[in-house]
Chains A and B, each alone.
Chain A
Amino acid sequence: MIPILFAMLLLPLAGVLVALIARRWASGIAVVVSLLELIIFLLAAWQFANGGKIVESYTFIPAINVNFELILNNITFVFTLLSVVVFLAVSIASRFFVSEERTGYNLLLMLAEAGVLGLFLSGNLFILYLFWDFSIVALFFMLFHFGGYDRRYASLKFIIYSIFSSSLLLIGIMLIYFYLPSHSFEIAQLMSTGYMIPKNAQLLILVLLLFAFMIKMPVFPFHSWAPDAYSEAPPGGAMLLAGVLSKFGIYGLIILFVSLPLAKEYALYIAILFVLSSVYGAATALGQKNLKRMLSYLSISEIGMIGFAIATMNTLGMSGALFGSLSHALIISLLFLLAFVIEKLFGTSIISRLGALIKRDKLVSYLFLFGIFAAIGLPLTSGFVTDLLIFLGGAKSFGILILVPATAIIINASYLFWIYKKIFLAGSEAEMFDLLDKNAKASMILLVLLIIFIGVFPPIILNSIGAII
């Protein structure tokens, strides 16, 4: 029996070692590693589809009852898939964007990949925490060393918010360990026996972890690090932050809601928090002058919708949240990638200085239009399936209340079309650019094809998810 999940974890680390020796080919090694990850993941997915969940366990620290446990089940399946795909897109696109210090950049990329995969595959809260912080630190290094003009401020804000969030998570994990009857860090144990935790301890755990995940997702009013970090990060960093790191919080939230019965009692209030954040994100995006900041708020708005879907606590909503995580990761990565391409074309991402892009680069314009369609949920894209599932689930649990989050979608649609008109259509004649090389194109095409593919055949994902509750 080959330890297939452990191999997924070790592969990027092996890539780091190889890249340290063959420094010149670091970016190629990163692409190969990501591609191999995808292949291994497909093998694991095939095994999962045929034989049920995969579990691998190794002795790690017996003194504090920690095993190194990796697991691929219906929840981790989605998150692993999205991180593998986004990392592949990022590693290909980085060959286009990063021209200086490629070695360091790709080393950080592979370290972050190991961290993210370790987090999503871990079957143990202790291991989850280890990789949670590890990937944050890798992204922190990427942010402040390769980021934009204001990178120092943005990265400091990012690391402090993130460490605060993960520290709350740490206390939550300790409390869970202490109050679980079996005294275990295992996520499976938490999910099956979480209801046995005493009520007041559940409340404490719920509050601590909810804060931790809301900072990381991010959710209003704890979001202020996100627009800074997203817009100052290097292209790959922004795609990873918005596409993958925001899923840390969603993943944690799903575990929390499945395991603690108390969360169900407060579901309505928590749902209101997320809806508020969603509407706030959409409304704030309206007023942004910078394209990248606008996309950051778009991301906050959509993350709020996914949080709302989790709080519905029914099968439709949960599937919507999981499918939506995948869809959001693909769409926001595509949009950020395009935004960075636009920034590279014009030297700025201030909306008022951009214009007539359709006359300069046709491909970028059409892809951006596609990204907008996907973001607002046009049929045949994954965004549509997400919205459908979320609203069906929401209507089942909260009834007429779902009209409030619907406004967020309308606002999002309105400003997205406005900036499309502003950036791509308005403006006078201009010379043609031919900036994109094959790496950038390949990365975008990969994302677009996947968005269409899972939008047309949603069962391929939904069947793997199955019923969570």
Chain B
Amino acid sequence: MITLFETLAMAVSMYMLLNIIARLVNNKKLHFALTVFMLASIFSLLLMILYSDSFGTHFDSMLSINQFSSLISLMITFGMLLVQFIAYSEPVYQDFSLLSSFSFFGMLLVIMSTSILTLFIGLELLTIPTVISLLLSRKWLEAGIKYFVVVALSAGLFAFGAATFFLLNGNLQITAQNTAGDIIALLFFVVAIGIESGIFPFNLWIPDVYQGSPGFITSMLGGLNKKVGIVALIYIMLVIFPYISQDLLIFFAVLTMFYGNLAALMQKNVKRILAYSSISQVGYILIGLSTLGRYGLSASIFQIFAHMFAFIGIFAVIALLETKGRIETKDYIGLNSENKFMALTLSVLLLSMAGIPFTAGFVGKFLLFSSAVYSNLVWLAILGIINTVISVYYYAKIIIAVYTNKKDARHVRADFSISFAALASLAIIIFFGVYPAPMISLAQAAAAILI
């Protein structure tokens, strides 16, 4: 009897294999159809696993599928699907799709890992194809090299951390450890994963790389890679070292929020603004983690979800405008007269990031800040609120630009694939903003399994 998980493993392998074949056949439409089909199959398999409770550990206890990993994998799979839709109109789509399938495999490895070894392999598998996809065009070379350097540094530090960890504890399991001296291993891990997930001060590469990469790769970098980095952070900080990580998490949460928001205030380039804003969102997520409680963790999971789709949706619009040479805030003036749907999508998703009600972003922020209040960290919640107010300034400036009237506006046509990605993100953000109950209970079940 073949289990659902084994089917899933086969589907993921098939996904990579079919990508290679489709690349060799060199038919873009076929390639896209196969990718969408395989990702949809993986999505439905994960959904079946989540709702039939077919959880368990596999492959000599190296991988585990549970409420947490299946929920995050679901989000990642759907996010990857949307990224494929954004990338479809690009000339390098086929190469990107092939490379992203390997990245996708790496993401699933990280999310399902029960051992630091799997985590490490997953992180490498995730980042290296991303670096290569940035080398596909000479225009992105600089961003690619920058990303490669920091990722290599992160890998080295992670390996060193893993070695220290093994020396101290005698195993590589992702379970609660409490050996004296663990703080050294923790610091190596924090720096390594801080680079991946964008914690201040290890995130200085983010604005440059996000700005230098094309929109579809940035949507993957910020929407998926970074979220997987946060999952790794959850495993390291909350599962392995819950006893020594609270102060560190609070410290990083405050710094990351303020750095992201204050730096975003001065920017003119929309991609740079969103890069900094995504840094500040990591800061909010860290608030939830720093409570070290189930409620806070579920809040962080919800915020990961809300930010992922808001980010991907916004980058669908950015990728569209970027091909027309419009990159700065002032280039966005009059978007409403040119394409009403794109203007609406951009504004609603920005409002979601700012945490305005009836969007998923609000629910995420409400859960995060309330988790801080309920853990007697009222001051942390107030700092978070101050950051929200700062962030409203730069989000509102983009929205005002978008809805400013422009004379002699000509309709900007959007491809079906990009419109679909924007529409899907918009629908998700509004649906789970108006009726968040199902996602909250899933996130709470996921949090309960970890801690």
Contact = CB atoms under 8 A, between A and B. Distances in A.
Nearest to A145: B403
B300 interface: no
B357 A130 contact: yes
Interface in A145-188: 145, 152, 155-156, 159-160, 163-164, 167-168, 170-171, 174-175, 177-178
A144 B399 CA distance: 10
A174 B358 CA distance: 18
Contacts of B374: 174, 178
A170 B366 contact: yes
Given A160-B393, A174-B370, A144 B400 contact: yes
A248 interface: no
B400 A155 contact: yes
B392 A171 contact: no
A61 B437 contact: yes
Interface in A223-248: none
A171 B388 contact: no
Please classify how large the interface on chain A is, using the bins under 10, 10 to 19, 20 to 34, 35 or more. Answer: 20 to 34
A327 to B, nearest CB: 30
Contacts of A156: 393, 396-397, 400
Interface string B421-443: 00000000000000011001100
Interface stretch (A133-141, A350-358, A401-409): A133-141
B437 A60 contact: yes
Contact of B389 (A63, A141, A152, A164): A164
B444 interface: yes
Contact of A167 (B373, B385, B396, B436): B385
Interface residues of B, number: 31
A51 interface: no
A71 B243 CA distance: 46
A134 B396 contact: no
A175 to B, nearest CB: 6
B369 A171 contact: yes
A134, A144, A163, A171 pick with most chain B CB within 10 angstroms: A163
B399 to A, nearest CB: 8
Interface in B115-136: none
A64 interface: yes
Given A137-B351, A156-B400, A170 B369 contact: yes
A167 B389 contact: yes
A446 to B, nearest CB: 31
A35 B135 CA distance: 62
Interface in A306-346: none
A430 interface: no
A62 B400 CA distance: 36
A175 B389 CA distance: 19
B367 interface: yes
Interface in B342-375: 351, 354, 356-358, 362, 366-367, 369-370, 373-374
B382 A171 contact: yes
B373 A171 contact: yes
A177 B139 CA distance: 53
Contacts of B357: 129-134
A160 B367 contact: no
B381 interface: yes
B381 A163 contact: no
Contacts of B386: 167
A43 interface: no
Contacts of B367: 64
A95 B356 CA distance: 30
A144 B441 CA distance: 38
B382 to A, nearest CB: 6
B451 interface: no
Contact of B356 (A63, A134, A155): A134
Interface string A111-136: 00000000000000000011111100
Contact of B373 (A64, A134, A144, A178): A178
Contacts of A131: 357
Given A61-B440, A134-B358, A145-B403, A174 B381 contact: yes
A204 interface: yes
Contacts of A170: 366, 369, 385
B153 interface: no
Contacts of A132: 357
B440 A167 contact: no
Interface of A: 60-64, 129-134, 137, 140-141, 144-145, 152, 155-156, 159-160, 163-164, 167-168, 170-171, 174-175, 177-178, 204
Given A63-B441, A137-B356, A171-B381, 10 more contacts: A63-B444, A130-B358, A131-B357, A140-B396, A159-B392, A160-B392, A163-B389, A170-B366, A174-B373, A178-B373
